[in-house]
Amino acid sequence: MTRTLSAGDPAQVGGYRIVGRLGEGGQGVVYLGEAPGGRRVAVKMLGAGLDDPDARTRFQQEIGYARRVKAFCTAQVLASGELNGSPYVVSEFVDGPSLAEMIRERGALRGAELRRLAIGTLTALSAIHQAGVVHRDFKPGNVLLSRDGPRVIDFGISRALEESELAGEHLVGTPPYMAPEQFGGRAAGPAADMFAWASTMVAAATGTPPFGAGDVPALINRILYAEPDLGGLDEELRDLVARCLVKAPEARPTAARALLGLLGLLGHHVPEQRLLAEGQQSAAPPPGRVPGRRWWLVAGAVTAAVAVTAAVLLTRPAPPPVGTGAPTLIAAPLPAPREGRMELTSTAKVKIPDTKITLYENPADPIWVSSYHDQRDGSGYPSYVRDPSNGTFGYFGGFEEPIVSPGGGYVASLSATRFRTPDFESVRIRDRVTGQDRQIRTVDKPATLFRPNWSADGRRWLATVIEDQEQDRVVGFAVVDAVAGTVKITKVPGGNDVRFGWGADGKSVLYEMPGGAVRVLDLEGRALRTFMGVGELYEGGAARTTLGSIFSTKCPDISANVCFWDAESGAKKGVARLPKGGAYHGWLDDAHFLATTPIGKNTDVVLADATGRTVRKLAAGRKTEIARVVLWFTRK
Phi, psi of 125 (to 5 degrees): -65, -35
Asked, for residue 407, whether it belongs to a domain, the answer is: yes
How far is it, in rounded angstroms, from Cα 455 to Cα 310?
8
- Give CA–CA dist 597/302, Å, rounded: 12
Q: Report whether pLDDT(132) > 60.
A: yes
Q: Is residue 626 part of a domain?
A: yes
For residue 192, the one-letter residue type is A
* pLDDT recorded at residue 339: 93
Q: Does residue 552 lie within any of the structural domains?
A: yes
Task: Determine, yes or no, domain membership for 509.
Answer: yes
Over 80: is that where the pLDDT of 317 sits?
A: no
Q: In the chain, what percentage of residues exceed pLDDT 90?
A: 54
* Catalytic residue, candidates 9, 95, 137, 557: 137
Domain identity same for 236 and 328: no
Report the distance separating Cα 22 and Cα 41, nearest Å: 11
Pick from 283, 309, 337: which residue ends a domain?
283
Q: Are residues 270 and 321 in the same domain?
A: no
End-to-end CA distance of the chain, in Å? 55
Q: Are residues 322 and 216 in the same domain?
A: no
Question: Which pLDDT score is estimated for 321?
Answer: 31
Same domain for 209 and 237, yes or no, is yes
Flag the least confident range among 17-26, 62-71, 175-184, 374-383. Answer: 374-383
Whole-angstrom distance, CA of residue 329 vs CA of residue 341: 32
Of 289-298, 347-356, 392-401, 504-513, least confident by mean pLDDT is 289-298
> In terms of domains, do 40 and 120 share one?
yes
Same domain for 420 and 477, yes or no, is yes
Q: What is the CATH number of the domain that holds 59?
A: 1.10.510.10
> Between the CA atoms of 556, 559, 563 and 569, what dihedral angle is there, to the nearest 10 degrees?
20
Clarify whether residues 427 and 456 are in a common domain.
yes
- Show which of 283, 318, 341 is a domain's final residue: 283
Tell me, yes or no, whether 152 lies in a domain: yes
* 21 and 158 housed in the same domain: yes
Domain final residue pick, 283, 314, 329 = 283
Indicate the number of domains in the chain: 2
Cβ neighbors of 61 (< 8 A, separation 6 or more) are: none
On whether residue 182 sits in a domain, the answer given is yes
Assess if residue 81 is contained within a domain.
yes
pLDDT digits (tens, 9 = 90+) for 447-479: 999 889 999 999 999 999 998 655 668 899 999
Round to whole Å and give the CA distance between 119 and 452: 30
Catalytic residue flag (residue 481):
no
pLDDT in tens, 71-117: 889 988 888 888 887 888 899 898 889 999 999 988 899 888 999 99
Q: Which residue in 49, 197, 194 sits closest to 117, CA to CA?
A: 197
What pLDDT is stored for residue 158 in this prediction? Answer: 55
Q: Which residues form the domain of 49?
A: 12-283
The mean per-residue pLDDT over the stretch 590-617 comes to 96
The stretch 562-568 carries a mean pLDDT of: 97
Looking at the structure, tell me whether residues 310 and 353 fall in a common domain. yes
Same-domain pairing of 223 and 317: no
DSSP string, 227-254: PP--TT--HHHHHHHHHHT-SSGGGSPP
413 with 561, same domain: the answer is yes
Identify whether 288 is part of a domain.
no
Q: Are residues 235 and 333 in the same domain?
A: no
For residues 120 and 173, the model is more confident at 120
Q: Read off the amino acid at residue 271.
A: P
Nearby residues of 103 by Cβ (< 8 Å), 6 or more positions away: 109, 140, 203, 204, 207
Across 147-170, average pLDDT: 63
Residue 278: closest CA among 259, 297, 296, 303: 259
Beta-strand ranges (E) seen in 247-381 are 348-351, 358-361, 367-374
* Domain containing residue 305: CATH number: 2.120.10.30
Amino acid present at 5: L
Question: What integer pLDDT is reported at residue 252 of this predicted model?
Answer: 97
3-state secondary structure 172-220: CCCHHHCCHHHHCCCCCCHHHHHHHHHHHHHHHHHCCCCCCCCCHHHHH
pLDDT tens track for 47-59: 655 566 766 777 7
pLDDT band, residue 323 (cuts 50/70/90): very low
What's the mean pLDDT in 491-512? 87
Q: What angle, 0 to 180 degrees and rounded to 10, lies between the N-to-C axes of helices 190-206 and 111-130? A: 170
